Amino acid sequence: MSKPTIVFVPGAWHTAEIYASVVQNLKEDGEFSTVSLPLPSTGAEPPHESFNKDVETIRDCLKQLVETEEKEVVLVTHSYGGMPGNEAPVGLGKKSREGKGLKGGVIRLVFIMALAMPEGFSPVAGGAEYPTWMKIDADKGIITVGQEDAKSIFYNDLPADEADKWAKKIQHQSLGVYTSTTTYAAWRHIPSTFVLCKKDKTAITQEVVEFMIQTARKEEPSAFDVVEVREDAGHCVMISQPAWVADVVRRAAGQ
């Protein structure tokens, strides 16, 4: 039986390059086919007014793999990427498709320090404020992160030279994605893994992660049946500890 295809989705300000070492690790022995998806809202000119294009990009990829190629898929998302990633797989879960006599489907979601909220979630709902390191330019419709902030917030577990390298790659993020509202929560319908990194310095703290998981389990007791914890990892664990993340993906794929 062929192994599932792994689809990787980055978070805000980052390209899919953040997964390069994980992908290399998974492909060393020809283990898995992978797809690394850039989010169109990152670096967009003009900036996007919502997360809709991100959702469409992920969904189009999943539909090609699941409906056309009848493959099984593990969807891996990071940070903001969990928001469109949680929205995109409507009707594409393996269990849902099996019930209709169809082959293929998303067999598991992996949220790496990612937004995994219920339907109706908007990051700035209820007057929530942006962290101070997120620089808002409402006129241009973008959010930027300075290189020094990026190093201390995103790459605090990397050597200084590596942190410098990645901080220089940061792109602007479309402001509109953070005013979008979700309408679907895939973790209700597809088995899900959450990856908790305890040295994360973003707004997705350990307390936020625990709240998301507890909220999900109150509404769907089987939600997040697997929680992978890394005590010494920051927000971008796929950069700092790619071999460990590759093993997380292998476990998610049933290996």
DSSP 59-124: HHHHHIIIIIS--EEEEEEEGGGHHHHHHTTTT-BHHHHHTTT---EEEEEEEES-----TT--TT
161 token code pair: 């030279």
Q: Domains, the chain, ranges and CATH? A: 5-252 (3.40.50.1820)
What is the predicted pLDDT for the residue at 255? Answer: 83
Residues of the chain predicted below pLDDT 70: 1, 29, 126
pLDDT tens for residues 5-28?
Answer: 999 999 999 999 999 999 999 988
Q: Measured between alpha carbons, how far is 34 from 28 in angstroms, rounded to an integer?
A: 12
Q: Measured between alpha carbons, how far is 155 from 115 in angstroms, rounded to an integer?
A: 19
Q: Quick check: helix, strand or coil at residue 222?
A: coil
Q: Measured between alpha carbons, how far is 151 from 161 in angstroms, rounded to an integer?
A: 10
CB atoms within 10 A of CB 159: 10
Reading across the β-sheet that carries 173-174, which strands appear in turn? 135-137, 142-144, 173-174
What is the predicted pLDDT for the residue at 1? Answer: 61
Q: Measured between alpha carbons, how far is 25 from 168 in angstroms, rounded to an integer?
A: 24
pTM exceeds 0.85, yes or no = yes
What is the predicted pLDDT for the residue at 77? Answer: 99
